[in-house]
Amino acid sequence: MMKENKLFGVVGHPIRHSLSPVMHNAVFKKLGLNYSYSAFDIEKNDLDVFLKRCREMNFLGLNVTVPHKVDIIRYLDDLDENARLINAVNTIKFEDNMLLGYNTDGLGCVRALEEGGERIGGKRILILGAGGAARAIVFQCALEGAEIAISNRTMDRAMRLAREIREKLNKRVLVVNFSESSIRDIIPTTDILINATSVGMYPKIHRSPVSSDVLNPKLTVMDIVYNPIETQFLRNAKRIGCKTIDGVGMFVHQGAESLRIWLDIKPPIDLMRKVVVEKLV
């Protein structure tokens, strides 16, 4: 007799661009699990009702994407140490009628950088953005020993994040004004530039967080946007000779960590990457 179907999903707004269902359902099929993973387009004001319904159903886990990674925390029962430190959640585990929050974004980013041949310790990293994903990346890179600078359109948000890093980790973070001139000034002393915003994501694929004028061929440039694989930001960087790292690696590795949390398995990362890339090309 077939076991009862277990439910997983990703919640965000908008969400139709997400390839999380493709990736996770491929894993479930490969492992012969009677599980299903769906995308849920939920607005901020409906998060509470949505999670209450999930509690009543056969859910084992959820991923959380933009713009809910911070707002969703108020509806959870507990956070693991990493999510509490970052104050953002991208993974929820349903366990004993409790909703437990985790964050795998930072680790996913670091593993993608390492796959690309980058060591994080001692590197000078400029991160564009200060939202949920950016928070996770900033904290994880700081924990790995990098020197961090942040630039965000809303200066106050970047300042608050820098203050949190100083208070929680006793590490100094430089805040850079989000202007081409200010970013251009810091680029010569930067090793890695990461776009941790959603700028350039499908369907607005011709947008870039900064112009190619601020880039330097000695930079390693990473974009956490994975759809499209090669964003306008990465195309600009590649054109002037920068080493580039696309967002697929981070997407796959953060998803793999979610699977470890939910199911305590070793995820088939090569399969996960294959199905995502096939869907994008």
197 and 161 share one domain: yes
Residues 210 and 113 in one domain: yes
Could you confirm whether 69 is annotated as catalytic? yes
Same domain, 112 and 238: yes
Q: Which of 29, 30, 69, 218 is catalytic?
A: 69
In this structure, are residues 54 and 4 in contact, taking their beta carbons and an 8 Å threshold? no
CA distance 134 to 146: 15
pLDDT in tens, 221-246: 999 999 999 999 999 999 999 999 99
Please state whether beta strands 147-152 and 124-128 pair in parallel, antiparallel, or not at all (unpaired): parallel
For the chain, which ranges sit under pLDDT 70?
1-4
Write the CATH number for 92: 3.40.50.10860
Q: How confident is the model at residue 212, as a pLDDT?
A: 94
Q: Are residues 239 and 112 in the same domain?
A: yes
Q: 113 with 227, same domain?
A: yes
How many independent structural domains does the chain possess? 2
For 23-69, write each residue's pLDDT tens digit.
Answer: 999 999 999 999 999 999 999 999 999 999 999 999 999 999 989 99
| The pair of three-digit structure tokens given for residue 227, joined into one six-digit string | 């759809």
d(Cα 40, Cα 135) in Å, to the nearest integer? 23
Q: How far apart are CA 22 and CA 38, in angstroms?
A: 9
pLDDT of residue 3: 57
Q: How far apart are CA 150 and CA 128, in angstroms?
A: 6
* Model pLDDT, residue 16: 86
Strand partners of residue 177: 152
User: Quick one: pLDDT at residue 1?
Assistant: 37
Are residues 215 and 270 both part of a single domain?
A: no
For residue 163, the enclosing domain spans 106-246
- Judge residue 7's burial from the number of C-beta atoms within 10 Å of its C-beta, 0-12 exposed, 13-18 middle, 19 or more buried: middle
- 110 with 99, same domain: the answer is no
Angstrom distance (rounded) from CA 47 to CA 58: 18
User: Could you please report the per-residue DSSP string of 112-159?
Assistant: HHHHTT---TT-EEEEE--SHHHHHHHHHHHHTT-EEEEEESSHHHHH
User: What pLDDT, on a 0 to 100 scale, did the predictor assign at position 281?
Assistant: 84
Residue 1 is assigned to a structural domain of this protein: no
* Same domain, yes or no: 230 and 156: yes
